[in-house]
Amino acid sequence: MKLIDIDNNLCDKNYISDFLRSTEFSSIADTIAEIEGDGQILHNIYKMGNDSTGYFSIKKRNLHQKYIADSIDNLNIMNDESGIFIKYKKVYKTEDCFILVSDWIDGKNLHPDFRNKLPLLFAELAKFNHKNIISGPFTSMYADGAYSDSADELVDRELNYHLTFWVDDKFRKVISEKVQFLKTGLPCLINEDLNLGNMKIMQDNRIVFIDTEWLQRNINLYQFDHVDYFCFDKPEWYSISGEAGDSYTSYFKELPVSVNDANRQIQAFEILKVLRQNTYWRFFTQKEKYGLEVERLQTALDCLQFVR
């Protein structure tokens, strides 16, 4: 059965197995197996190995997804003294795709029993960001493939785009003023896809990120997309909701940022998230949602303290 996935049908299981037969993994190339998650076969990740050789995770990614190449480069230059990111054991570049091999992680998912450890992870993440301040070009999963020479340009580009979808003119000035505080954040390496589904807790209670595909040059605040502070909608299982306040507080205590500046920066990003949601509703003409953006914006504007 041919596997169909989000990567344009490139590099299916048989392709990967054939390729790995000519590598150091030749003896276990035929052990590649599909992985089941939430009752469905996952078609873009596999497990390979045995008890003797150990087990490995195999990912296949489209060669033309530039953010994948960026993340590989960033993994190679990052300073990760705490070891919170799982690096690839081997990266292969074929004519069609990247084949990414890493050690298989048998740790447990963070949800729901280990959520109380999230503030500890955020403290380590702050240390990581501070040790990995970096220059551009900067990009984001919301930038539609565009790159910006500076962090300020990254903010302005996204803000201007979202304002084209904003209907209520009376809020435009305050939106523009508040979002400017994003520019005072750290330009650094970030894990923009920070959510519980991409974390594992090891036997030694160390929390690690197992998915680094969005390890990008960006602003530190942009990695809080799944920090669901206000819980406007029913939180997803992978969202950081009840722990949001403690996680924010733990994070900013590790940075040379005043409490007032931290609150302004978080508020700026919470406003940006409202803009992103509004753009989505307007782009897909979800008229039943129209008006909610103003309510949510007002909630973000009224909240002046996120960290203690």
* Domain extents in the chain: 13-103, 115-302
Mean pLDDT value across residues 138-166:
96
Cβ atoms < 10 Å from Cβ of 90? 14
Yes or no: is domain 115-302 CATH 3.90.1200? yes
Mean pLDDT value across residues 58-83:
93
* Topology at the third CATH level for domain 13-103: Phosphorylase Kinase; domain 1 (3.30.200)
- pLDDT beyond 70 at 269: yes
Q: Which of 9-18, 195-204, 297-306 is the least confident region?
A: 9-18
What are the DSSP calls for 248-263, one per residue?
A: HHHHHHTTT--HHHHH
What pLDDT shows up at residue 205?
Answer: 80
Q: How confident is the model at residue 4 (pLDDT cuts 50, 70, 90)?
A: very low
Give per-residue pLDDT as tens, 72-115: 999 999 999 999 999 999 999 988 889 999 999 887 776 566 78
| Six-digit token string for 7 | 């990567």
- pLDDT beyond 60 at 8: no
Please give the C-alpha separations between residue 253 and each of 83, 167, 216, 225, 288, in angstroms, as whole numbers.
20, 37, 23, 20, 40
- In 136-210, where does DSSP find H-type helix? 151-163, 172-179
pLDDT cut 90: percent of the chain above it = 73
What pLDDT shows up at residue 96?
Answer: 83
- pLDDT beyond 60 at 11: no
Strand segments (E) across the chain: 33-37, 40-50, 54-62, 90-93, 97-103, 187-191, 199-201, 207-209, 215-219
CB 201 within 8 A of CB 114: yes
CB 178 within 8 A of CB 210: no
Determine the residue type at 163. L
List CB contacts of 84: < 8 A, sequence separation 6 or more: 121, 124, 125, 128, 206, 207, 208, 209
CB 129 within 8 A of CB 190: yes
Q: Greater confidence, 227 or 117?
A: 227
Which of 210, 212, 159 minimizes the C-alpha distance to 190? 212
What pLDDT shows up at residue 265?
Answer: 98
What pLDDT shows up at residue 200?
Answer: 86
Q: Report the DSSP beta bridge partners of residue 182.
A: none
- pLDDT beyond 90 at 220: yes
- pLDDT beyond 90 at 185: yes
Supply the angle between the helices 259-283 and 244-253 in degrees, to the nearest 10: 130
- pLDDT beyond 60 at 7: no
Is the preceding omega at residue 256 within 30 degrees of 0, hence cis?
no
What pLDDT shows up at residue 3?
Answer: 32
Q: Report the DSSP beta bridge partners of residue 54.
A: 50
What pLDDT shows up at residue 154?
Answer: 97
Q: Report the DSSP beta bridge partners of residue 190.
A: 216
CB 31 within 8 A of CB 57: no
**d(C-alpha 242, C-alpha 182), whole Å:** 24
What pLDDT shows up at residue 275?
Answer: 98
